[in-house]
Structure 1
Amino acid sequence: MTKQPYDDDQASFSAPIEDLQVRIAFLDDLVDQLNQQMALQTQEIAILKKQMQLLYQRVESADLSEGIAPFDPLTNRPPHY
Protein backbone atom coordinates (compact mmCIF):
# COMPACT_ATOMS: atom_id res chain seq x y z
CA MET A 1 0.00 0.00 0.00
CA THR A 2 1.37 3.37 -0.96
CA LYS A 3 0.99 6.59 0.94
CA GLN A 4 -1.21 9.15 -0.56
CA PRO A 5 0.17 12.63 -1.21
CA TYR A 6 -2.35 14.02 1.26
CA ASP A 7 -0.73 12.12 4.14
CA ASP A 8 2.72 13.42 3.21
CA ASP A 9 1.48 16.99 3.10
CA GLN A 10 -0.19 16.65 6.46
CA ALA A 11 2.95 15.16 8.03
CA SER A 12 5.14 17.90 6.58
CA PHE A 13 2.86 20.59 8.06
CA SER A 14 2.45 19.02 11.50
CA ALA A 15 6.15 19.12 12.44
CA PRO A 16 6.58 22.91 12.01
CA ILE A 17 3.26 23.51 13.76
CA GLU A 18 4.39 21.41 16.73
CA ASP A 19 7.67 23.35 16.84
CA LEU A 20 5.75 26.62 16.88
CA GLN A 21 3.48 25.36 19.64
CA VAL A 22 6.51 24.41 21.75
CA ARG A 23 8.07 27.82 21.17
CA ILE A 24 4.84 29.59 22.10
CA ALA A 25 4.55 27.55 25.31
CA PHE A 26 8.16 28.41 26.19
CA LEU A 27 7.62 32.10 25.46
CA ASP A 28 4.43 32.17 27.53
CA ASP A 29 6.35 30.72 30.46
CA LEU A 30 9.16 33.21 29.95
CA VAL A 31 6.74 36.14 29.86
CA ASP A 32 5.17 34.95 33.13
CA GLN A 33 8.58 34.71 34.79
CA LEU A 34 9.55 38.17 33.58
CA ASN A 35 6.24 39.58 34.80
CA GLN A 36 6.83 38.13 38.26
CA GLN A 37 10.36 39.53 38.35
CA MET A 38 9.10 42.94 37.25
CA ALA A 39 6.48 42.94 40.01
CA LEU A 40 9.13 42.08 42.62
CA GLN A 41 11.45 44.80 41.39
CA THR A 42 8.62 47.33 41.39
CA GLN A 43 7.90 46.51 45.03
CA GLU A 44 11.58 46.73 45.91
CA ILE A 45 11.90 50.12 44.21
CA ALA A 46 8.89 51.42 46.15
CA ILE A 47 10.46 50.27 49.42
CA LEU A 48 13.78 51.87 48.53
CA LYS A 49 12.05 55.14 47.64
CA LYS A 50 10.37 55.22 51.04
CA GLN A 51 13.70 54.55 52.74
CA MET A 52 15.33 57.36 50.79
CA GLN A 53 12.55 59.75 51.77
CA LEU A 54 13.06 58.86 55.42
CA LEU A 55 16.80 59.45 55.11
CA TYR A 56 16.24 62.81 53.44
CA GLN A 57 13.85 63.80 56.22
CA ARG A 58 16.42 62.83 58.84
CA VAL A 59 19.15 64.82 57.13
CA GLU A 60 16.92 67.87 56.69
CA SER A 61 15.71 67.77 60.29
CA ALA A 62 19.22 67.34 61.71
CA ASP A 63 21.02 70.52 62.69
CA LEU A 64 24.39 69.98 61.07
CA SER A 65 25.83 73.36 62.03
CA GLU A 66 26.50 72.32 65.63
CA GLY A 67 29.64 70.36 66.40
CA ILE A 68 31.35 70.88 63.06
CA ALA A 69 34.43 73.05 63.20
CA PRO A 70 35.28 75.12 60.17
CA PHE A 71 38.04 73.70 58.03
CA ASP A 72 41.36 75.50 58.23
CA PRO A 73 43.84 74.24 55.62
CA LEU A 74 46.85 75.53 57.56
CA THR A 75 46.11 73.76 60.83
CA ASN A 76 44.32 70.71 59.46
CA ARG A 77 47.00 69.41 57.17
CA PRO A 78 47.14 65.76 56.17
CA PRO A 79 50.03 63.79 57.72
CA HIS A 80 51.94 63.46 54.43
CA TYR A 81 52.73 67.21 54.29
Structure 2
Amino acid sequence: MTKPTDNDDYASFSAPIEDLQVRIAFLDDLVEQLNEQLVVQGQEIDALKKQMQFLYQRVEAADLSEGIAAFDPLTNRPPHY
Protein backbone atom coordinates (compact mmCIF):
# COMPACT_ATOMS: atom_id res chain seq x y z
CA MET A 1 0.00 0.00 0.00
CA THR A 2 1.14 3.44 -0.76
CA LYS A 3 0.63 6.23 1.66
CA PRO A 4 -0.75 9.46 0.16
CA THR A 5 1.77 12.22 0.20
CA ASP A 6 1.36 15.58 1.85
CA ASN A 7 1.32 17.23 -1.59
CA ASP A 8 -1.90 15.43 -2.50
CA ASP A 9 -3.51 16.59 0.73
CA TYR A 10 -2.34 20.13 0.13
CA ALA A 11 -3.66 20.14 -3.44
CA SER A 12 -7.05 18.77 -2.38
CA PHE A 13 -7.42 21.52 0.24
CA SER A 14 -5.88 24.40 -1.70
CA ALA A 15 -8.22 24.25 -4.71
CA PRO A 16 -11.43 25.03 -2.75
CA ILE A 17 -9.60 27.66 -0.73
CA GLU A 18 -8.35 29.35 -3.90
CA ASP A 19 -11.87 29.27 -5.35
CA LEU A 20 -13.19 30.95 -2.22
CA GLN A 21 -10.45 33.56 -2.36
CA VAL A 22 -11.33 34.36 -5.98
CA ARG A 23 -15.01 34.67 -5.12
CA ILE A 24 -14.22 36.95 -2.19
CA ALA A 25 -12.09 39.15 -4.44
CA PHE A 26 -14.92 39.47 -6.96
CA LEU A 27 -17.44 40.19 -4.20
CA ASP A 28 -15.16 42.86 -2.72
CA ASP A 29 -14.95 44.50 -6.13
CA LEU A 30 -18.71 44.32 -6.57
CA VAL A 31 -19.32 45.89 -3.15
CA GLU A 32 -16.92 48.71 -4.00
CA GLN A 33 -18.71 49.35 -7.31
CA LEU A 34 -22.09 49.40 -5.56
CA ASN A 35 -20.79 51.84 -2.95
CA GLU A 36 -19.53 54.16 -5.68
CA GLN A 37 -22.91 53.96 -7.42
CA LEU A 38 -24.67 54.83 -4.16
CA VAL A 39 -22.49 57.91 -3.78
CA VAL A 40 -23.33 59.03 -7.33
CA GLN A 41 -27.05 58.43 -6.81
CA GLY A 42 -26.98 60.31 -3.51
CA GLN A 43 -25.40 63.30 -5.23
CA GLU A 44 -28.02 63.15 -8.00
CA ILE A 45 -30.83 63.00 -5.44
CA ASP A 46 -29.40 66.02 -3.62
CA ALA A 47 -29.23 67.97 -6.88
CA LEU A 48 -32.82 67.02 -7.74
CA LYS A 49 -34.02 68.08 -4.28
CA LYS A 50 -32.40 71.49 -4.76
CA GLN A 51 -34.06 71.87 -8.15
CA MET A 52 -37.44 70.94 -6.68
CA GLN A 53 -37.03 73.48 -3.88
CA PHE A 54 -36.16 76.14 -6.45
CA LEU A 55 -39.24 75.28 -8.52
CA TYR A 56 -41.50 75.33 -5.46
CA GLN A 57 -40.16 78.74 -4.52
CA ARG A 58 -40.80 80.06 -8.03
CA VAL A 59 -44.36 78.73 -8.05
CA GLU A 60 -45.11 80.18 -4.61
CA ALA A 61 -43.60 83.54 -5.58
CA ALA A 62 -45.45 83.74 -8.89
CA ASP A 63 -48.51 85.95 -8.98
CA LEU A 64 -51.05 83.70 -10.65
CA SER A 65 -54.05 85.95 -10.06
CA GLU A 66 -53.37 88.14 -13.12
CA GLY A 67 -53.29 85.40 -15.72
CA ILE A 68 -55.98 83.08 -14.40
CA ALA A 69 -59.56 84.13 -13.79
CA ALA A 70 -61.51 82.61 -10.96
CA PHE A 71 -63.79 79.76 -12.02
CA ASP A 72 -67.48 80.18 -11.36
CA PRO A 73 -69.44 77.07 -12.31
CA LEU A 74 -72.73 78.97 -12.72
CA THR A 75 -71.46 81.57 -15.20
CA ASN A 76 -68.71 79.55 -16.85
CA ARG A 77 -70.71 76.66 -18.22
CA PRO A 78 -69.18 74.42 -20.85
CA PRO A 79 -70.61 74.81 -24.37
CA HIS A 80 -72.43 71.47 -24.32
CA TYR A 81 -74.92 72.64 -21.62
CA RMSD of aligned residues (A): 2.1
Number of aligned residues: 80
Asked if residue 46 in structure 1 is aligned to residue 41 in structure 2, the reply is no
- Which has the higher mean CA deviation after the structures are superposed, 65-74 or 40-49? 65-74
Matches within 5 A, 1:48-67: 48-67=48-67
Query: Match of 2:20?
Result: 20
Unaligned runs of 5+ in 2: none
Question: For residues 69 and 29 of structure 1, do their structure 2 counterparts lie closer, same or farther at Cα, with a shift above 3 Å needed?
Answer: same
Q: 1:41 to 1:79 in 2, by over 3 A?
A: farther
Query: What's the counterpart of residue 32 of structure 2?
Result: 32
Deviant stretches of 4+, over 6 Å? none
Taking structure 1 as the reference length, the TM-score comes to 0.80
Q: Percent identity?
A: 80
Inter-partner Cα distance in structure 2 for 1:25 and 1:58: 50
Mapped to 1, the partners of 2:44 and 2:74 lie a distance apart of 47
Q: What is the CA-CA distance between 1:60 and the residue it aligns to?
A: 1.2
